[in-house]
Amino acid sequence: MQSNNKKICLVVSSLGKGGAQHAAALQSNLLDKLGYDVHIVTIFPDVFYTYSGTLFNLGLYKSAKNSSLNRVSRLFKFRSYLKTHNFDVIIDHRSRVQWYREFIISKFIYNAPTVYVIHSFEKSIMFPKQDWLSRYLYKNEMMIGVSKAITNHFKVKYNLKHIETIHNAFNFQDIQKRASEPIDETFLNTNFILFYGRLDDTSKNLKLLFEAYKKSDLAMHHFKLLILGSGSDKEILSDYVNALSLENDVVFKPQTNNPYVYVKQAKFTVLTSHYEGFPLVLPESLSLETPVISVDCKSGPNEIIQHKHNGLLVENYNVIELAEAMNSFIFDESLYQHCKLHAKQSVEKFSMENISNDWKKLIENIDENNHK
């Protein structure tokens, strides 16, 4: 560990389940290894991911009724915490959609140079509805897009003056270690393809995955589809699987803190989202030499997948093309082995070590006078 006396505060909705939350937890590990004094402020109480540093869990102060008075009280606790610790840099990973809250936080709560991370291409889950307000609040702030597409899109949309791309970081050594942990699971002796993530059809579009799997030849060749995850749409998705008469071929398993044992054994991983930011499941799978098939959604997959080199990239919402891609990974052994051979090396650029350099450079060069 290097030594560094700078204090950094990560602000995130929670350390519970979700891509942005996982990325923030990984960043706390990254910054801690760089020697920074890391603190994390969470808005909601859930803690699922392993993190480094000091946690200030504002969610523990949330009352059952969550009254206006209680929300104001938590804002004052937040402000007091930031003031007491006098942070050198604040890094905000939250979804910023409520205009009045974002105005208060950016203008009256944050008291240090602040970096705002944009985790999704979908505006409605990252910014207020009022575009004029986003231009006003963030035009001169330091912004980070987790994909090049996010950076380019929002730079133009909000006329952002200080925005750059830093991809999400991955602890590939830890993923490798966890993937090799022993597990008593008979399903791992089955031939299967894999989706893992949140069961939210609004973003993940799992119905497209089920339809493509139905059209493919995988089921008749005894390849199951494993859906590894939890979420509010579990029942709706189960009903959809039944309606397609796939109940014997699609297997649902709840989210686990170690999905990597399944990723390592899967034939390939599939992503069919309406939108993403920089999907963690693709580099994770590739690091375990498990090729991937993804729709070319906004954003992230086309910055990770080199078509027919480490995986397959298909047009979004195209059921037939997706089904054909699935078939090709089962029946074109030469293509599959080529992608498998190049999978691991293709994502080394996203390692914790490489992405650390980008964050260190940003933090050390933040001009306080430009931002606060």
Residue 221 is part of a domain; what is its CATH number? 3.40.50.2000
What stretches of the chain show up as alpha helix (H) in DSSP?
A: 19-33, 68-85, 99-104, 131-138, 148-157, 172-179, 201-204, 206-215, 234-243, 260-265, 281-287, 301-304, 319-331, 333-346, 352-365, 368-371
* DSSP labels, 231-252: -TTHHHHHHHHHHTT-TTTEEE
- The alpha carbon of 263 is separated from its chain's Cα centroid by a whole number of angstroms, namely 17
pTM: 0.94
Is 284 domain-assigned? yes
Mean pLDDT of 139-150: 97
Do 256 and 240 share a structural domain? Answer: yes
pLDDT tens profile 18-31: 889 999 999 999 99
Do 82 and 120 share a structural domain? Answer: yes
Closest residue by Cα to residue 280 from 15, 21, 14: 21
Is 117 domain-assigned? yes
pLDDT tens profile 217-240: 999 999 999 999 999 999 999 999
The pLDDT of residue 17 is 81
pLDDT band at 63 (very low <50, low <70, confident <90, very high): confident
The pLDDT of residue 367 is 62
Is 1 domain-assigned? no
Do 95 and 235 share a structural domain? Answer: no
Mean pLDDT of 48-69: 92
Of the candidate ranges 28-37, 50-59, 246-255, 361-370, the one whose mean pLDDT is the lowest? 361-370
Do 363 and 333 share a structural domain? Answer: no
Do 110 and 245 share a structural domain? Answer: no
Domain count, the chain: 2
Q: Residue 370 pLDDT more than 60? A: no
pLDDT band at 66 (very low <50, low <70, confident <90, very high): confident
Do 312 and 215 share a structural domain? Answer: yes
Is 312 domain-assigned? yes
The pLDDT of residue 5 is 79
Do 361 and 239 share a structural domain? Answer: no
Mean pLDDT of the chain: 95
Is 2 domain-assigned? no
Is 71 domain-assigned? yes
Q: Residue 303 pLDDT more than 70? A: yes
The pLDDT of residue 2 is 52
Instruction: Compute CA distances 122 → 22, 103, 177, 180, 298, whole Å.
Output: 18, 20, 33, 35, 8
DSSP 107: I
Q: Residue 3 pLDDT more than 90? A: no
Is 236 domain-assigned? yes
Mean pLDDT of 135-162: 97
pLDDT tens profile 333-360: 999 999 999 999 999 999 999 999 999 9
- Domain limits for position 184: 172-349
Return the SS3 of 283: helix
Do 263 and 244 share a structural domain? Answer: yes
The pLDDT of residue 65 is 84
Do 280 and 198 share a structural domain? Answer: yes
Do 34 and 81 share a structural domain? Answer: yes
Q: Residue 4 pLDDT more than 90? A: no
pLDDT tens profile 280-300: 999 999 999 999 999 999 999
Do 197 and 100 share a structural domain? Answer: no
Is the preceding omega at residue 95 within 30 degrees of 0, hence cis? no
Is 278 domain-assigned? yes
Closest residue by Cα to residue 87 from 10, 17, 153: 10
Do 44 and 127 share a structural domain? Answer: yes
Mean pLDDT of 40-50: 94
